[in-house]
Amino acid sequence: MRRITVSLAAACLLAVPTIAQPANNDRLATAAQLRDSALVGNKAWALLSNLTDTVGQRLAGTEAEARGRAWAKAEMQKLGLVNIREEAFPLTLWERGQASATIVGSNHQLALAALGTSGATPAGGITAPVTCFSNLAAFRAAADAAVKGRIMFVDHRMGVTQDGSSYGVNGAVRRAAPALGAQKGAAAVLIRSLGTDYHRNPHTGGTVFPAGTAPIPALALALPDAELLSRRCAAGPVQMQLVSTPSSKPGQSANVTAEIPGTVPGEVVVLGGHLDSWDLGQGVFDDGAGVAISLATAGAIKAYVDRSGQRPRRTIRVVLWGAEEFGLIGGRAYAAAHKDEGIVLAGESDAGADRIYQIDSKVADAGLPLLGEIAGVLAPLGIDRAATNASGGGPDVGPLAATGVGVLDLGQDMTRYFDVHHTPDDTLDKVDRKQLDQNVAAWTAAIWLAATDDRPLRTK
């Protein structure tokens, strides 16, 4: 019986056609070829300009975001990707309404914007004294009696950094100060925008009110106006008239995915960006560029597969996450829905359109040689390898990484990212096409190498 079983198994193996995988030298040569081809010609600029010119801003949960999903599915089909689908999830739809602020007794009309999920003033607005704090720690230390019924202003000092780390250090001001103000009885909370430009463009962004904490008006001041208010506070008592009219209701968003199927079932490499954006600009740097880079990367690989007949070993899946700006809702929903799937590696483009300068990762030790190969192929693009293997990935990749999915992190130069991030200035004219092309070249080579590899990458 055992001899018969072995013979039948052997016969079955002979009957199934095998698809030869490329030798390692061939993989590296193909990756270099894909890199060079993408550097001189790819679809990223056409995709980005079309998305931002025809769809524009894509606030999560709105009809505008839905038009963005329809656009994405149509472009995925044109690129020849398959298994195109939407994965819906619920959210609270927040829309900003109008906002204005005046320092009483002056001609100063302040440039400001409501923060996502913030509450509204009464229709006629509020007039209240202002208390200024130099940082979040000083606000935390203030007695509730010194806060109750007043408008709080919380300052900070965010600097320019290549890796965007100053945003992480100062981000708690936006995320936590409004909820702290609500808990202390403040009438409203204003913050200095999380930005590095000195245009009168406020930077919006999400804030968080914990369950059981009623949202209060929470707004960000453009940097020149924040410094004006700080000086006025230092000179003496300040009163402000403030109007802010956001509204909320139940809504829905969705992630959009598409694939280049691999030859081995059950192993997937993910690349993506988030499709939603804030509503002040056109969502170009944040994150139309990441959407275009991801789609252009998949398009370049699919075109090569069609020409050569050489499919990747692992399935390549593009994921365009929804509702990132309201707290990674799409990223969390995607990780939960796919936690039992064989996703081995994930990468995300969500730091603008400027050049990639560094490779980082978080993969199993057995997968580190792959990172060495990627570094070798990307070196001609001026990209160095980080000394660590501890990257958390991008915002939407983070929930996947927490389940053990390996992370590929191609770090973009963020020196000017926070000049336009979340502002009306997030428009197409800010994009340097050569730097955009360098992103596509890097991701195309890296994803090809990862998808044609067989080493373990998951950390759990």
pLDDT of residue 22: 56
What are the backbone angles phi and psi of residue 195, rounded to the nearest 5°?
A: -155, 170
Domain segments of the chain: what residues? 20-93+250-451, 97-245
pLDDT band of 24, cuts 50, 70, 90: confident
Burial classification of residue 49, based on how many CB atoms lie within 10 Å of its CB (0-12 exposed, 13-18 middle, 19 or more buried): middle
Q: What is the pLDDT of residues 362-404, one digit of tens each?
A: 999 999 999 999 999 999 999 999 999 999 989 999 999 999 9
The yes or no reply on domain 20-93+250-451 and CATH 1.20.140.10 is no
Sheet holding 406-412, edge to edge: 82-95, 247-260, 315-321, 268-274, 343-348, 406-412, 356-362, 384-385
Rounded to 5°, the CA angle 233-236-238 comes to 60
Residue 13 reports pLDDT greater than 50: no
Task: Calculate the average pLDDT of the chain.
Answer: 94
**Token pair in block for residue 343:** 């996703």
Q: What is the pLDDT of residues 322-367, one digit of tens each?
A: 999 999 999 999 999 999 999 999 999 999 999 999 999 999 999 9
Closest to 364 (Cα-Cα) out of 441, 460, 296, 449: 460
Name, in order, each residue with C-beta under 8 angstroms of 68's C-beta and a sequence gap of 6 or more: 51, 55, 58, 275, 276
Q: How confident is the model at residue 23 (pLDDT cuts 50, 70, 90)?
A: low
Half-sphere exposure (Cβ direction) of 56: Cα atoms closer than 13 Å: 7
Average pLDDT of span 307-335:
98
Res 341: pLDDT: 96
- The tens digit of pLDDT for each residue in 111-125 reads 999 999 999 999 999
Range 20-27 average pLDDT: 70
Q: For a pLDDT cut of 90, what percent of the chain falls above it?
A: 94
CATH number given to 97-245: 3.50.30.30
The answer to whether residue 7 scores a pLDDT higher than 70 is no
Confidence of residue 249 (pLDDT cuts 50, 70, 90): very high
Euclidean distance between CA atoms 118 and 73, whole angstroms: 32
Q: Distance (Å, rounded) from C-alpha 314 to C-alpha 135?
A: 48
The DSSP output letter for 247 is: E
Domains 20-93+250-451 and 97-245 fall in the same CATH topology: no
Per residue in 264-299, pLDDT (tens digit) is 999 999 999 999 999 999 999 999 999 999 999 999
Q: Which residues contact 188 (CB under 8 A, 6 or more apart)?
A: 121, 126, 128, 151, 152, 181, 216, 217, 218, 219, 242, 244
Q: Is the pLDDT of residue 14 over 80?
A: no
Q: Quick one: pLDDT at residue 25?
A: 81
